[in-house]
Structure 1
Amino acid sequence: MNGQPNPIVTLSFAFALEIIEFCDQLEEKRKYTLANQLLRSGTSIGANVKEAQAAESKKDFVHKMKIAYKEAEETIYWLKLCEASKSYPNPNRLLLQLETLLKILGKIISTSKKTLAL
Structure 2
Amino acid sequence: MKNSENIIVKLTFEFALEIIEFCEILETNKRFVIANQLLKSGTSIGANVREAQNAESKNDFIHKFKIAA
Aligned residue for 1:10?
10
2:55 partner amino acid: A
4+ long deviations beyond 2 Å? 1-4
RMSD (CA atoms) = 1.4
The structure number with the bigger radius of gyration is 1
* Counterparts of 1:3 and 1:43, CA distance in 2: 17
Aligned residue in 2 for 1:23: 23
Task: Supply the AA of the counterpart residue of 2:49.
Answer: V
Number of aligned pairs?
69
Q: Cα distance 1:29–1:4, how it changes in 2: closer, same or farther (>3 A)?
A: closer
Cα deviation code 1:26-62 (max 9, x no counterpart): 0000101000110011000000000000001111101
> What TM-score do the two structures reach when normalised by structure 1?
0.56
Identity %: 65
**TM-score where L is the length of structure 2:** 0.93
> CA offset at residue 4 of structure 1?
6.2
SS in 2 for 1:20: helix
How far apart in 1 are the matches of 2:19 and 2:62? 24
Task: Specify every segment of 5 or more residues in structure 1 that has no aligned partner in the other structure, as ranges.
Answer: 70-118
Aligned to 1:57: 57
Q: Flag the 1:23–1:58 CA change in 2: closer, same or farther, 3 A.
A: same
